[in-house]
Amino acid sequence: ALTDGSIGDMIFFHSYKRPGFIVDIARDIRNINDLAVQSHATGQIIIGGGLVKHHVCNANLMRNGADFSVYINTGQEFDGSDSGASPDEAVSWGKIRITAEPVKVCAEATIVLPLIVSQTFAKDVKAWKEELDGCVCWLSDDDDLEDSEEKKKE
């Protein structure tokens, strides 16, 4: 599916511009699955559906499900599409933990995502940064990146 459509076309053209260019699909799946398996907890905010939704959910299947899950799409269950599948379907497969409280927002993402972010992640950015201080997955500024690189050299 990766090479289907415009992305495949761009990979094709780029391979002539840069001989030796390789897209390693097996490495990609190993990386995302390993990241999920090795994580203490995982959450997924899936905008849209289809291949991306399936890929992210399957990575969480490898660790007995995501701890947090939000779907944002306009897909409906009646058409049988992956986009329309409810979080309950993912729970039944073990892609979302049974203890999670998943949410599906049935709306057009370009309208609701900014509203969701403004009332959650961006509501108090300063407190959020303070809460994540010292977390290995968080870099607050380019200066911090330079400081951490200096510490590694020492």
- Please name which of 28, 103, 29 lies closest in space to residue 61, comparing C-alpha atoms: 29
**How far apart are alpha carbons 110 and 98 in whole angstroms?**
29
**How far apart are alpha carbons 120 and 41 in whole angstroms?**
19
126 belongs to the catalytic site? no
Amino acid present at 154: E
Alpha helices in the chain (DSSP H): 6-17, 25-38, 51-61, 87-93, 109-119, 125-131, 142-153
Burial letters for 97-122: b for 16+ Cβ neighbours within 10 Å, e otherwise?
beebebebbeeeeeeebeebeeeeee
**How far apart are alpha carbons 33 and 37 in whole angstroms?**
6
Spot the catalytic one: 17, 95, 151, 153: 95
Active-site amino acid positions: 95
